[in-house]
Amino acid sequence: MGRYKVEVDLLLCQGHGVCTEECPKVFEVVDVETGYPKVRVKEEFPDEALRSKVQDAVDYCPNRTIKIVELD
């Protein structure tokens, strides 16, 4: 495993916040112009040490909006 990037499909995100519970160093829930909460990626290229927590966020997202993109 090498470098990776975290992406969130904001059109599908409903701001449940499960990802922030799994990995608060990478994700946070914010209000957007629509007045509905969405997830913001705080760390787009997280450290490898956080990979398992990011993977948990991917696995537990109720709308399956998060993905890991391998860069190497």
Listed by start position, the domains of the chain span 4-70
Contact 32, 38 (CB under 8 A): yes
At 4, which helix (H) or strand (E)? strand 4-8
Is pLDDT above 70 for 1?
Answer: no
Per-residue model confidence (pLDDT) at position 32: 72
> Could you identify the residue written with the tokens 């948990």?
56
Model pLDDT for residues 47-70, shown as the tens digit of each residue:
999 999 999 999 999 999 999 999
Instruction: Note the pTM of the prediction, 2 decimals.
Output: 0.89
Q: Thinking of the domain 4-70, which architecture would CATH place it in? A: 2-Layer Sandwich (3.30)
